[in-house]
Amino acid sequence: MNTLLTIETTPLFWDCECNDNYVHHYTEQACSSCGCERNESPDSRLNEIGIDDILHPHTPERNAHILQKLIDFISEEQMTMFVQKIISEEQ
Ligand SMILES: [Zn+2]
């Protein structure tokens, strides 16, 4: 029996082998710390992606799509923080 929890991944981010800050935006080709390359690394799971990852300056039009999916995973506090950051960047 397959007991693995199925967690949705996104091709917009990928994981390197670092213990911290291992989520990279898909526009990054490689991790400068561990040397992992995007092409050889797994897609990130939605629940691993942090607010700072979403606020990556590239392709903001896709952020809304990711945020929509993240609603199930992040707390209300994180969501508030996220919205406040977006608002402050637009001013
Ligand atoms: Zn790394």
pLDDT number for residue 1 = 45
Give me ligand 1 centre to Cα 75, in Å: 26
CB 82 within 8 A of CB 53: no
Give me ligand 1 centre to Cα 45, in Å: 16
Give me ligand 1 centre to Cα 1, in Å: 33
Give me ligand 1 centre to Cα 19, in Å: 8
Confidence tier at 27 by pLDDT (50, 70, 90): confident
E strand or H helix that includes residue 13: strand 9-15
* pLDDT tens figures, 49-64: 776 777 665 555 566 6
Give me ligand 1 centre to Cα 34, in Å: 4
How many Cβ atoms from other residues are within 10 Å of residue 91's Cβ? 4
Give me ligand 1 centre to Cα 31, in Å: 5
Q: Output the six-digit token pair for 58.
A: 């590239």
Give me ligand 1 centre to Cα 25, in Å: 12
Is the model's pTM score more than 0.75?
no
